[in-house]
Chain A
Amino acid sequence: MSASLIAVRELSKVYPTAGGERVQALSRITLDVAPGEFVSLVGPSGCGKTTVMRILAGLLGGYTGSVVVGGRALHGPSRDIGVVFQDANLMPWRNVLANVMLPVEVLGLDRKAMRPRAEALLRLVGLAGFERKLPGELSGGMRQRVAIARALVHDPAILLLDEPFGALDAMTRDSMNVELARIAAEAGKTVFLITHSIAESVFLSDRVLVMSSRPGRIVDAIPIELPRPRGLDIIAAPAFAATVLRIRGLLEEGGAPATVTLAH
C-alpha cells in the first residue's frame, strides 16, 4: 500500500454520560485509506461509526491516539476532507448553485474563479439546469446530490460520507449508490463511506472495514474483488452474495446484526 491519505492509529474515545459514567465509544481503532481507494466502514447502529466520522470531519475532539490526514496530524476541520452528512443540510434560503458555493465563501476562495467548477460539479451529479432552484423544490435524492457537489467544490482529496442515502427510499438509494460510484470515479476522489448496509458497502467499496460495538472496534478488513464498473446486476453474482454473508458473519460474531438489504 502506498502512503496513506488517512492514517488512524489506536484511536479511542470515551464519552461521559449524563449519569456520570464513562462510555467507551471507540477502542483502539487503527485504519488506513490509500489515495484513490473507496473504503467503507460498516457496522450496526450505535457502534461508533458516526463518532469516527465526526472525528475525521474535525467536529469532535477529546480522543486519544493519532489521526493523520494528507500527511498532517488532524487538528480540527481539514480542507482535504469534504463531508456529506446523513441529511443534505442545505440552506433553504440559498439556491442550488449558492449552496454548492458555500464552502468557497467560508474558505475565502475566489468566487468568480470557482463558479464554473461549481456548475461543472452540478453537471457531474446530474443537476444541470437546477442552479436557480431552491432546496425546497427538490426531491430528497436531488438534495443529497447537491450536498455531494458542495462537498467536492473546494476540491478536497477525500470525500467523507456518513450514511448519505440513509434517509432515502430503497429504490432511490440504489440508484444513488450507482451514481456515487460513478461520481467518485469521475472526480478521482478517495472515498470513506460510513454505512450500516452491508450490501451497500460491498457494492461500492474496494475494501470494507467491519466494526463491532461496545466498545466500537474494527474486527476485520475485507477486500472486495468485484470488477468495476459495477452495475446493480452484480447483486446477483455469487461472489457478491458470498462477501455479504462473510461480513454478516463477522458482524454477528461481534454482536448485533446489521442490515443486508439492497432493495430489488
Chain B
Amino acid sequence: MLQATASRLPRPRAMPWPALRAALRRRPELLLTPLLALALLLLWEAAVRGGLVGRFVLPAPSAVLVALGAGLADLSLPWHALVTMGEAAAGFAIAVAAGLVVGTLVAEFRILERAVYPWLVAIQTMPKIALAPLLVVWFGFGPSSKIAVAAVISFFPVLVTTLAGLRGCDRGQLDVLRALGAGRWRCFASVRLPNALPQIFSGLSIAVVFAMTGAIVGEFVGASAGLGYLIVQANARMDIPQVFAILLVLGAIGVLAYALVQAARRRLLFWSPQAEPSRT
C-alpha cells in the first residue's frame, strides 16, 4: 500500500526539499540549535536514568516536564507567576517613574547635581539586594515589600541612563531651539528627552530584569505567595523537578518582559540607528 502510494506520487513529495535545503544552507542554525538542545536533553535524560547523576541533584527532563504539567494543570504555577509578575511590574513602574523624575531633576539643576549626586553614587555602589530583609521588616510579608525591593534595585539603572542620556544632549539641536527663543521646558520636551530615549531604553531593558529579580528575592525572604516563595517551599521538600519547572516559568517571563521593552523601543525609537542596525 505504502509502496503503491509512493510510486504513484513520486515527485510532489520532493517539491519542498530544495527550498528547505536552501534555507538551511543559508541559516544552518535553524536546524543545528534545536538539534543540539535535543541532543543535550537526551544525554541529560540518559545520564539521570543511568544513575550517573543523583535524582535529587539533577532531575530528568521528563520529570521536570511532569512537574511543569502538574503545576500548570492545578493552576498553582500561573497563580504564583501572576503574583510575582504583579509585584515586579508595580516595582518596575515605580522605579521608572522615580528614575525619570530624579534623573531629570538632577540633570536640569546644577545645585541638585552637586548636592545629590555623590549620595546617589554612594548608594549605587552598595548591593541593594542586601536591603531585602530590611524592606520585608518595614513593609510586611505582603506584596508591598516585594514591590519595594523590585523598585529599589531597578531604580538605579533607570536613573543612571536617564542622567547620561540627558547630559549627552546635542548642542546644535539645542541651539536651533534657543535661537527661536524656546524656554527650558520646550528645550527639554523637544530636544533633551527624545535625545535621551535611546539610553533610557537601555536602562529599561536592565531594569525590567532587575525588577523580576527583586520580586523573587523579596519572596525568598518572606512571603506567602509568588514563584520565589514556591521555589523555597519546593526546595525545602527537595522537590527539585518543581524547582526546575519554576525556573522554566521564570525564564519564560523574563524573555516576555524583555521582548515587551524591545517592542516599545522599536515603536518609539524608529529613528534611532541602534534600534535598526540595518539602516545607515
Contact = CB atoms under 8 A, between A and B. Distances in A.
From A58, A89, A107, name the one whose CB has the most chain B CB atoms within 10 angstroms. A89
B247 to A, nearest CB: 40
Interface stretch (B35-43, B54-62, B125-133, B174-182): B174-182
Classify the secondary structure of B's interface with A.
loop
Nearest to B183: A106
Contacts of A59: 175, 178-179
Contact of B190 (A85, A102, A136): A102
B110 to A, nearest CB: 18
What is the interface residue range for chain A against chain B? 20 to 34
B181 A58 contact: yes
Contacts of B170: 89
B172 interface: yes
Interface residues of B, number: 22
Given A92-B271, A134-B271, A103 B180 contact: yes
Contact of A89 (B172, B190, B272): B172
Q: Which among B176, B178, B182, B272 has the greatest number of chain A C-beta atoms within 10 A?
A: B176
B209 interface: no
Interface string B150-193: 00000000000000000000101101111111100010001100
A85 B271 contact: no
Contacts of B269: 93
B181 A83 contact: no
A103 B180 CA distance: 7
Interface of A: 57-59, 76-77, 79, 81, 83, 85, 87, 89, 91-93, 102-103, 105-107, 134-136, 150, 154
- 5 nearest A-B residue pairs (beta carbon): A89-B172, A77-B181, A93-B271, A106-B180, A83-B179
21 contacts: A77-B178, A77-B179, A81-B179, A85-B175, A89-B170, A89-B172, A89-B176, A91-B173, A91-B194, A92-B271, A93-B271, A93-B272, A106-B177, A106-B181, A106-B190, A107-B180, A107-B181, A134-B271, A136-B271, A136-B273, A136-B279
